[in-house]
Amino acid sequence: MENLSWFKFCPADWSMGKIQRCSRESRADFIDICCIYWNKEGCVSRDDVEGVYDGLEELLQRKVLTIKDEKVCIDFLDEQLESIAKLREKRAKAGRKGGKQTQANAKQMLDKSKQNQAEESRVEESRGDKKRFTTTEGVILPYEWKEQVPQESITGSPSWISFTRQYNASKGRRAHSDTVKTFADEFVGQNYDEVRKSYKEWCVHFGFWLKKKDLPNIERVAL
């Protein structure tokens, strides 16, 4: 495993520690035992090393390593193994949390998609219904507003052509008024539940919304 490909070794601890009271042979045996100990993640028994390393008894006598319950213990390696175990657990928890979050995000996207589909169906139904609804005098629904916008206005009040001219002036484009009128369907659908607006307020709302769109650029056409 990547986390166990190496362990920390401090030269100062080696040169000034108890290991220096051992013979060269015992010190060499200790390095071998450390490598075995690290590769087995600390799971080394007395039987694994006894009779194999002549310096074992000296290492035990100098307390460079110990044996507890028939298992070899090397303190400085145990500290590192414990740190790695905690890091693994932390990453595992983060992975489980990330997986749950991914599932939650997927569910949220699915719910939103279903909601959008329901809204689109409701808008289509409202378009097929010829009845007019007014919650308060002077307040109209979005699709009512759209039906009242004229192609052009002699009085200078908002019309599809005036909306188109405003858009072209702000964007430096040449969009067609029929395109603007078509995009108004999208605007009506997005604002289906916002019913408490006057005709003038809807015009202002649509004007700001339209400036954020990117309509097709049609050269040399009449508005």
- The full 3-state SS of the chain, as one line of letters, equals CHHHCCCCCCHHHHHHCHHHHCCHHHHHHHHHHHHHHHHCCCCCEHHHHCCCCCCHHHHHHCCCCEEECCEEECHHHHHHHHHHHHHHHHHHHHHHHHHHHHHHHHHHHHHHHHHHHHHHHHHHHHHHCCCCCCCCCCCECHHHHHHHCCCCCCCCCCCHHHHHHHHHHHHCCCCCHHHHHHHHHHHHHHCCCCCCECHHHHHHHHHHHHHCCCCCCCCCCCC
Whether 152 is in a domain gets the answer yes
pLDDT score for 188: 85
pLDDT score for 135: 44
Nearest to 42 by CA among 22, 65, 58: 65
pLDDT score for 29: 94
CB atoms within 10 A of CB 59: 24
Per-residue pLDDT for the chain (223 aa), expressed as one digit of tens each? 456 788 988 898 898 888 999 999 999 999 999 999 999 988 999 999 988 999 999 999 999 999 999 999 999 999 999 998 898 888 888 888 877 777 777 778 777 777 777 776 666 665 554 444 444 557 888 888 888 898 887 777 888 888 888 888 887 777 888 888 888 888 888 876 666 788 888 888 888 888 888 877 765 444 5
Those residues whose C-beta lies under 8 Å from the C-beta of residue 183, and which sit 6 or more positions away, are: 210, 213, 215
Which structure tokens are listed for 155?
């009085």
Considering its fold, how many domains does the chain have in total? 2
Indicate the residue among 31, 61, 79 that finishes a domain: 79
Whether 181 is in a domain gets the answer yes
Indicate the residue among 24, 49, 79 that finishes a domain: 79
pLDDT score for 132: 45
Q: Which domain holds residue 66?
A: 2-79
Gyration radius of the chain's alpha carbons:
39
pLDDT score for 220: 46
| Contact assessment for residue 127 and residue 118, using Cβ atoms and an 8 Å cutoff | no
Whether 185 is in a domain gets the answer yes
Indicate the residue among 60, 79, 98 that finishes a domain: 79
Whether 131 is in a domain gets the answer no
Nearest to 150 by CA among 118, 177, 120: 177
pLDDT score for 127: 55
* Residue recorded with tokens 């689109």: 120
pLDDT score for 98: 76
Whether 137 is in a domain gets the answer no
pLDDT score for 181: 84
